[in-house]
Structure 1
Amino acid sequence: MNTLTRRAALAALAAAAATPALANHPGENLDARMMEMEQYFQIIDAAAPPFALQDADGKPVSLSDFDDKIVVLNFIYASCPDVCPLQSEKIAAIQASINDGPMKDRVQFISITTDPVNDTPEILRDYADLHGFDTSNWVILTKTPDQPDDATRRLARNYGLEFTMTAESSAMVHGAVTHVIDTGGRLAGKFHGMAFSNVNLILYVSELISNGQHRQRESGWWDRVSGIFQ
């Protein structure tokens, strides 16, 4: 993130912090207050659908592996012609902001392909470079050899995504949703589409971490949040 982008993000956070909705630590009111700030945010508060998949190298990866972290999750497929690459680049930018500060070790980013037959290990390995992900806390997952070809599409439907197959190209059309999973596997909320504010998602993740650590949002709040952009 360059200096101008950091300054713009900090200015946005300063404006948010100045509003009555964020004047105090939100605590149990975090979801309601995020609804006031972000029109594309949806409260969920339910157990996240579990999964046991594998990465591009065949290493088993389960959602439960990250019970002690905040998980930012999305579904993609590599040949997607429109929304998937745009969503991936947006999430990569959010990851870069988070990884630039103290929250990096508390947040895991996960992308899951809904086209495991065509998304080969080589394609999956290249995905991070193509879209700017940092593999230190991001992984892309696919089905395991013993799972059916539609296993990850079924999983995506469990997360609320629906698919439409186009007659012309057999492409899978689905919405762009960024899921935020709290520690312990609780699906906390969803950010829909591409128009949501990056800063709002970063702030939401920061507050989930703060709530989990039973911190007070007083004089140290601004230092903790602004630190991710320094």
Structure 2
Amino acid sequence: MVKNKQHNLLATIIVLLFGFVLFYVGTDQFSAFTAETARVNKLVEEKPQFPDVAFEDSNGRTYSIDEFKGKYVFITFIYSMCTTVCIDLEMNMDQVYDLIPKEYIGKDIQFLSISFDPERDDPERLAVYQNLFTNSDGELWRMARIKDQEELQFLLDEFGVIVIPDEYGNFAHNSAFYLVDKQGTLAEVLDYKKVDEAANTVIKILEEEAGA
């Protein structure tokens, strides 16, 4: 009877230890409790380079990421027909803009919203959409599309942006703030719901670089 109890206790301990190890490995050493967190951690670790894609902005201008060479670029991925998360995402981006000292904006950092719905988000539509947000002026904060679908998809894949179309012309997608450094490398992926935290992270980076 005692042996059976000892055997059952040992079996229970082994099962618990096995489960513990699986949880540890499956969550990237507890640092990632969800697939999204693991994705973000992987992106920040790998720091992908922003690919050479062609933007067309709300003013009909075309250029690459080199347009912002020598500046940090604070980026969101959106589509103008979105009635849910995109509005919150851009409104929060507006708040981040307000929190960053004005001497950095335009000189050291650029704001950019990229549409992943290029067929509908032409320059005219983006020009209307940007008017919903106080600081989106088409210059210091631009809105643009990538017309070439292969280029667009490559960028989304590189930056871990998941976009799933539905039958009604809408998209299910993840959302975050992306900060690209002056060399075009992804520096940070920030929680768009934590406006103050995102702004403070950006300000710290800009201040450290200014004082270097």
Shared fold by TM > 0.5?
yes
Q: Which residue of 2 aligns with 1:165?
A: 165
Aligned residues: CA RMSD? 2.3
TM-score under structure 2 length normalisation: 0.71
Distance 1:80 1:151, change over 3 A: farther
Structure with the greater relative contact order (CA < 8 A, sep ≥ 6): 1 or 2? Answer: 1
1:141 paired with 2:139, answer: no
- CA displacement, residues 23-44 of structure 1 (integer Å, 9 cap, x when unaligned): xxxxxxxxxxxx9xxxx88534
1:117-136 superposed matches below 5 A: 117-135=119-137, 136=139
- Per the TM alignment, residue 79 of structure 1 is displaced from its structure 2 partner at its CA by 0.3
1:27-38 superposed matches below 5 A: none
Question: Which runs of 5 or more residues in structure 2 are unaligned?
Answer: 1-30, 32-36
Question: Which runs of 5 or more residues in structure 1 are unaligned?
Answer: 1-34, 216-230
1:34-73 superposed matches below 5 A: 42=41, 43-44=44-45, 46-50=47-51, 51-73=53-75
Percent identity of paired positions between Structure 1 and Structure 2: 21
Q: Secondary structure at the match of 1:75?
A: strand
Q: Secondary structure at the match of 1:180?
A: strand
Instruction: Determine the C-alpha separation between the residues in 2 that align with 1:108 and 1:44.
Output: 23
- Per the TM alignment, residue 138 of structure 1 is displaced from its structure 2 partner at its CA by 0.8
Instruction: Determine the C-alpha separation between the residues in 2 that align with 1:44 and 1:62.
Output: 25
- CA displacement, residues 75-108 of structure 1 (integer Å, 9 cap, x when unaligned): 100001211111011101111222x532222110
Q: Which residue of 1 aligns with 2:177?
A: 178
Q: Is the 8 A contact 2:48 2:159 kept in 1?
A: no
* Count of residues in Structure 1 that have an aligned counterpart in Structure 2: 170
Distance 1:68 1:45, change over 3 A: farther
Instruction: Determine the C-alpha separation between the residues in 2 that align with 1:47 and 1:212.
Output: 21
